[in-house]
Amino acid sequence: MAEDITIPAWKKWLQDIGDQVGFFIDFFKNIFTGGFEWSEFVRQCYEIGYRSIALVSITAFIMGLVLVVQLRPALAAYGAASTLPATLSVSFVRELGPVIIGLICAGKIASSIGAELGSMKVTEQLDAMEVSGANAIQYLVVTRILATTFMVPLLSLLGDVVGLFGGFLGVNIRDSISFHLYFVKVIASLDFSDFLPALIKTVFFGLAIGFVGCYKGFRSNKGTESVGVAANSAVVTASLWIFVIDAIAVQITSLLFYK
C-alpha cells in the first residue's frame, strides 16, 4: 500500500517562489527575442488603459472630493483652512493617488488577465499554441506585462489631475475659491521630488500587476473552478505587492528627497 506523501507548506512556498522566478526570467528573456508582437501590445494598452479611464477618473474624483471634506474641519480648527489646496495636492500626488489607482488597477486588470489566461489554460489553448510552435510567453505574457507597466503610470497621472479637480469642488462646498487661485496654490505646493518618486513606483505597480495576473493565469490548474481562483488570487497578490512596493518606495524616498 502506497503511503500518502504530503509536501510541507514551507516547501510548497519555496517551490512557488522558484516558479515565479523562472516565470519572470522567461518573461525577461522574451522581451529581447525577435518578432515582438506590436499589434498585440497596442491592443493590450487599449484594453488595459483606455477601458480603465472611466473607473480611474470616477474613483479619483470622488477621493479628491471626500479627502477635502474630511480634512477641512481639522485644518479649520487650527486656522489653517487656507492651506487645504496645498495639503490635498501633496498628499494626493505623493501617496494617495498612486496607491488608490494601483489598487483599482489590481482589482480590474490583474483579475481580468488572470481569468483570461486561466480560461485559455483550462481550454488547452496554451497547449495548442505550444504545439503549433507559437511563443505563448512572448505573445501573451510579454505584451500584457509591458502594457500594464506602461499604462498604470499614465492612469495614475490622470487620477492625480482628476482628483485635484474633485478637491476643487470639495473646497467650494463650504468655502469659495476661484479656479485660478486654487490651482496656483496647488502648483506652488508641488515640487519635482513629489512627482518623480510617485511616478517611478507606479511603474513597479504596473509591473507587479501584469506579472501576477499572467503568472496566476498560466499556473492555474485544470477545471473551470481554477479560473475564478486564478482571478481572485491575482487580485489579492497584486494588491499585497502594491503595499509592499509602496512601503519600500516610501523609505527610499524619505532618505533621498525628504531628509
Across the range 72-83, mean pLDDT stands at 84
- pTM summary value: 0.90
31 in a structural domain: no
102 in a structural domain: yes
24 in a structural domain: no
All cell numbers assigned to 44: 493590450
Give the torsion sign (CA, 163, 165, 170, 176): positive
20 in a structural domain: no
pLDDT tens per residue, range 204-244: 999 999 999 999 988 887 677 788 888 899 999 999 999 99
Residues 234, 211: Cα–Cα separation, whole Å: 9
Phi, psi torsion values for 35, nearest 5 degrees: 80, 40
The region of weakest confidence among 52-56, 79-83, 156-160 is: 79-83
97 in a structural domain: yes
Cα angle value 110/111/116 (rounded, 5°): 100
- Number of domains the chain contains: 1
Q: Which of 68, 158, 62, 141 is nearest to 105 (CA)?
A: 158
Helix (H) or strand (E) holding 243: helix 225-256
pLDDT of residue 5: 57
143 in a structural domain: yes
Asked if residue 166 lies in contact with residue 61, where contact means CB atoms within 8 angstroms, the answer is yes
What's the pLDDT band for 156 if we cut at 50, 70, 90?
A: very high
Q: Which of 118, 87, 101 is nearest to 152 (CA)?
A: 101
Residues 4, 136: Cα–Cα separation, whole Å: 35
Structural domain of 63: 36-256
pLDDT tens per residue, range 3-53: 445 677 777 777 888 888 888 898 888 888 777 888 999 999 999 999 999
- What is the Cα 170 distance to its own chain's centre? 26
pLDDT tens per residue, range 159-197: 999 999 999 999 988 888 889 999 999 999 888 888 888
Residue found under cell 507587479: 208
107 in a structural domain: yes
11 in a structural domain: no
Higher per-residue pLDDT: 130 or 61:
61
